[in-house]
Amino acid sequence: MNRILFILLFVPILAVAQESEPLSVGVKGFVDTYHALRSGADHEWMSSRSRVRGELTLSKGGAGAFISANMVYNSLLKERSGLQVREAYMWCGNDRWDLRAGRQIITWGVADGLRVTDIISPMDYSEFLAQDYDDIRIPVNGLRLRYMRDRWNLEVVAVPVASFFELPVDDANPWSVAPRDMGVPVVMDMGAEPLRKFENMEFGARLSMFLSGVDFSLSALRTWNKMPVFSTTFDGTNLVATGQYRRMTMLGADVSLPLGQFVVRGEAAQYFDEAQTPASGLDIPRSGSLNALLGIDWYAGNDWNVSAQYSYKFIEDYSALMSGQEHTHMGTLRISKSLLNNTLSLQSFAYMDLTDGGIYNRFTADYALNDQMHVMLGYDLFHADKGMFRMYADNSEWWLKLKYSF
């Protein structure tokens, strides 16, 4: 089966590459170092990592390849040091269609930092959201075929082996998701991922329309819950939390509407048969859920940008078998301003837990010494008495990042 798939994928690519155009080679990347210090009384180091990112692009005629890799040294999380291949795929196509095969990041929807229809590529929460959002996305090994016309595009994706969220469970990691206030020791087990079988593959499609004054898309995806749902049992000494994964289907839509200085964005998705967090000791319940988002971007002039979003999740057929909340509300607010001939960029980006009252706000000052060298200083503020940010309430931190691009 794998040999047949290889032939079907790469024979067309090799055929296109026989064209007489010369081989084009592009190399770029960056070096960065990031260090974060807890602002509390103990002044514990929260992060200390450096990396070299390299990106290689090869193209000839209507075909090519792209590879992106990181060489990382993480002095706190030693297991995350080493060579990490980020993306590696081959492509072929023209102005009407293109095929991309390999390790790649696939994004859908119009949301900023929130997930409604954008659920193909999972997330790396090894440092929660205290990373650049592009670094949090995890690539998937898959195929993406696009057919493009002037006013519409059709995208079809297939992921033979699904990828899932990376969650830290080691108590030595300050971003661990293991509960700390349960009264008994907690053992976290990420659980067994679905078997690597043909019937467990992910597949879906997205139809995008580009009309006068409005863009919108319709999407469908057969997938899994990428974030594990934990079932808990007590073994007499420890509370054992085991991750579970279940099949689900998503039907979604998104829209983007420019109105002068404003852009209004919206997304909605129905998750069918989604796995829900069970009450302690019970099996995983399944239920549909409605997920919606409304956002507005204001380009106010003088290099001011303001963006606000509100998202809502409703679990259908809610019951006592579920430990999650029936209604969940989340908001984001981004405010940015460029100064000093665009050499200094100031930004505040906040996630607001509107259900339980918590907040995570990242303040950033980014100064460009020149076109290649940037110095970034910031502060991550966590405040919560309950809800999703409660476990990180003591993780407010100062951070410094230096980046050189080549």
pLDDT digits (tens, 9 = 90+) for 203-228: 999 999 999 999 999 999 999 999 99
- Span 110-118, average pLDDT: 97
Domain with 136 in it? 2-405
- Span 335-344, average pLDDT: 97
pLDDT at residue 258, rounded to an integer: 97
State which amino acid sits at residue 88: A
Write out pLDDT tens, residues 245-281: 999 999 999 999 999 999 999 999 999 999 999 988 8
Write out pLDDT tens, residues 164-196: 999 998 888 889 988 777 778 888 888 999 999
293-302, 342-351, 385-394: the lowest-pLDDT one: 385-394
Rounded to a whole number of angstroms, the distance between the first and last alpha carbons of the chain is 41
pLDDT band at 343 (very low <50, low <70, confident <90, very high): very high
Half-sphere exposure of 385 (CA within 13 A, CB side): 2
Domain CATH for 355: 2.40.160.10
**Domain total for the chain?**
1
Which residues have CB under 8 Å from 197's CB, separation 6+?
none
pLDDT at residue 19, rounded to an integer: 53
pLDDT of residue 144 exceeding 80, the answer is yes
pLDDT of residue 12 exceeding 80, the answer is no
pLDDT at residue 406, rounded to an integer: 96
Q: Closest Cα partner for 80 from 43, 135, 122, 17?
A: 135
- Work out whether strand 186-189 and strand 239-244 pair parallel, antiparallel, or are unpaired: parallel
- Span 66-95, average pLDDT: 96
pLDDT band at 329 (very low <50, low <70, confident <90, very high): very high
Rounded to an integer, what distance in angstroms lies between the CA atom of residue 316 and that of residue 289? 6
Q: Closest Cα partner for 263 from 116, 110, 115, 108?
A: 110
